[in-house]
């Protein structure tokens, strides 16, 4: 395993084509998807007060920022395809890296693709005048979502430039659309209502266990801050570009999310937000009527498709890196001779996403994703404590307030998982997810671990 900070490109046939703003677009586009449009209802149901509601979004933003600052340092030091997989491998060894890849293969990416594409399909149904909660449209949602996954995969199969172009355009559209809703809410809604910000903490609106469960939904909305690192092997001037893009993109997402929640509260009281599955559409309808609903629906469709595209741009690089390391089938590391993309890995990721979306609901997919991913984010962040002890470690950027920032991220992860295990409603699903991850240990020793004899 290489521990040098000047790591050569492990796969020279993958070309470095992404500049700074394309890299920022990958991060923002991978993050802003369905969460900010759909999650507020569930969060308000658990924390029915303006103060607790905003507090959990702030906590999620700080959580993401601590992780992003740490990954900004690690990405500059190890600008390789695979990102978090590489950091875990360098810090904790091949078994830990394999478990991350195993979790991505069996749970994480398929659940992510399924949840995002489901929201895209639901809004498409609404634009066409159908209710996706009723049959047969509820069934049709699964098929439309599967087609969306296949379409996004096609863009990324035929080249990074195509995937990046789609990402740049959809990122501008979704960020601009969300800003437009926010400005409308403050310009029209706030003068009419005076805002629904008081009482800040109504009686019974805050419980620590409910806060932890709400934080899971917030982290689903914030997820994407690590995705840029997966495609680090295709970023130009990576030691300079990656840290800047990760920090710029994460801060931009935090700002727009906090403004969006303040805008929702400017128009709707918490009680209405907790009953609204499509809160942004309800806000827009209250402000400008039926055209507002259509505008929001189109914005959400662009947003979720952009996130779907970003996931299929970044996630397949994890399986590619595993195969390149000898921890997965070697064929998965194949690069298309014409398009210069990891096409086998893209096809594998696409197939898993289609299977999951045909079999599971949005809520099942989103909860599975968050529970499975956060332990590995913690491992990736914690690798900084190991890597900083190595003389050859020379990152171009160093996380401020070290070791407090990575330690806060790890502590927050422990709280999140501990709370999920304690709460009776989430205990068994959480244990099932963790059990599937641990099943990867015997799989490793029966396959690649036995072949290499490495720990």
Lowest mean pLDDT among 116-130, 344-358, 371-385: 116-130
Within-domain flag for 9: no
For the entire predicted model, the pTM comes to: 0.85
Q: Which tens digit of pLDDT belongs to each residue from 237-294?
A: 999 999 999 999 999 999 999 999 999 999 999 999 988 877 888 898 898 888 888 8
Within-domain flag for 152: yes
Within-domain flag for 288: yes
| 12: pLDDT strictly greater than 50 | no
The C-alpha atoms of residue 118 and residue 73 are separated, in whole angstroms, by: 34
Within-domain flag for 1: no
The C-alpha atoms of residue 280 and residue 209 are separated, in whole angstroms, by: 27
Hey, which residues does 18 pair with through a beta bridge? 235
Q: Which tens digit of pLDDT belongs to each residue from 373-428?
A: 889 999 999 999 999 999 899 999 999 999 999 999 999 888 888 888 887 877 88
Q: Which tens digit of pLDDT belongs to each residue from 63-91?
A: 999 999 999 999 999 998 888 999 999 99
Query: Which residues constitute the domain of residue 358?
Result: 20-452
Within-domain flag for 253: yes
Within-domain flag for 2: no
Within-domain flag for 139: yes
Domain harbouring 255, CATH code = 1.20.1740.10
Q: Phi and psi for 18 in degrees, rounded to 5?
A: -95, 120
What are the b/e assignments for 45-64, b being 16+ CB within 10 Å?
bbbbbbbbbbbbbebbbebb
Within-domain flag for 338: yes
Identify the band that residue 363 occupies on the pLDDT scale cut at 50, 70 and 90: low
The C-alpha atoms of residue 20 and residue 18 are separated, in whole angstroms, by: 7
* C-beta of residue 92 within 8 angstroms of C-beta of residue 378: no
| 35: pLDDT strictly greater than 50 | yes
Q: Which tens digit of pLDDT belongs to each residue from 144-187?
A: 999 999 999 998 898 777 777 888 888 888 899 899 999 999 99
What are the b/e assignments for 128-143, b being 16+ CB within 10 Å?
eebebeeeebeeebbe
Domains in the chain: how many in total? 1
The C-alpha atoms of residue 387 and residue 87 are separated, in whole angstroms, by: 9
Work out the end-to-end distance of the chain between its first and last CA atoms, rounded to an integer number of angstroms. 12
């Amino acid at each position: 395993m290489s521990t040098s900070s000047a790591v050569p490109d492990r796969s020279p046939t993958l070309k470095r084509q992404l500049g700074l703003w394309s890299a920022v677009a990958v991060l923002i586009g991978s993050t802003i998807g369905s969460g900010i449009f759909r999650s507020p209802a569930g969060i308000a149901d658990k924390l029915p007060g303006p103060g607790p509601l905003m507090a959990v979004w702030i906590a999620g933003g700080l959580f993401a920022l601590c992780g992003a600052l740490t990954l900004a340092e690690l990405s500059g030091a190890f600008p390789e395809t695979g990102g978090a997989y590489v950091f875990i491998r360098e810090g904790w060894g091949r078994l830990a890296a394999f478990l991350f890849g195993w979790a991505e293969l069996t749970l994480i990416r398929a659940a992510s693709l399924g949840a995002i594409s489901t929201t895209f399909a639901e809004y498409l149904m609404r634009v066409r005048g159908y209710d996706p909660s009723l049959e047969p449209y509820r069934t049709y949602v699964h098929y439309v979502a599967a087609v969306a996954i296949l379409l996004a995969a096609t863009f990324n199969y035929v080249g990074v430039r195509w995937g990046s172009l789609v990402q740049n355009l959809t990122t501008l559209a979704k960020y601009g659309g969300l800003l437009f809703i926010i400005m409308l809410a403050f310009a029209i809604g706030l003068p009419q209502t005076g805002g629904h910000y008081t009482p800040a903490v109504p009686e019974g609106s805050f419980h620590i266990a409910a806060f932890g469960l709400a934080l899971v939904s917030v982290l689903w909305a914030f997820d994407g801050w690590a995705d840029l690192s997966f495609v680090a092997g295709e970023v130009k001037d990576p030691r300079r570009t990656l840290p800047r893009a990760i920090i710029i993109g994460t801060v931009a997402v935090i700002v727009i999310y906090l403004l969006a929640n303040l805008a929702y509260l400017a128009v709707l009281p918490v009680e209405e937000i907790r009953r609204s599955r499509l809160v942004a559409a309800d806000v827009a309808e209250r402000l400008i009527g039926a055209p507002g609903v259509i505008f929001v629906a189109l914005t959400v469709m662009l947003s979720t498709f952009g996130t779907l595209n970003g996931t299929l741009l970044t996630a397949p690089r994890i399986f590619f890196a595993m195969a390149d390391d000898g921890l997965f089938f070697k064929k998965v590391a194949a690069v298309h001779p014409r398009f210069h993309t990891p096409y086998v890995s893209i096809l594998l990721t696409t197939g898993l996403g289609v299977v999951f979306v045909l079999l599971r609901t949005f809520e099942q997919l989103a909860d599975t994703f968050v529970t499975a991913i956060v332990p590995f984010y913690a491992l990736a962040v914690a690798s900084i404590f190991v890597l900083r002890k190595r003389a050859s470690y020379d990152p171009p950027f160093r996380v401020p307030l070290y070791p407090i920032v990575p330690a806060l991220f790890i502590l927050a992860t422990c709280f999140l998982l501990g709370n999920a295990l304690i709460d009776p409603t989430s205990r068994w699903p959480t244990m099932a997810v963790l059990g599937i991850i641990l099943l990867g240990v015997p799989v490793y020793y029966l396959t690649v671990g036995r072949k290499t004899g490495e720990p």
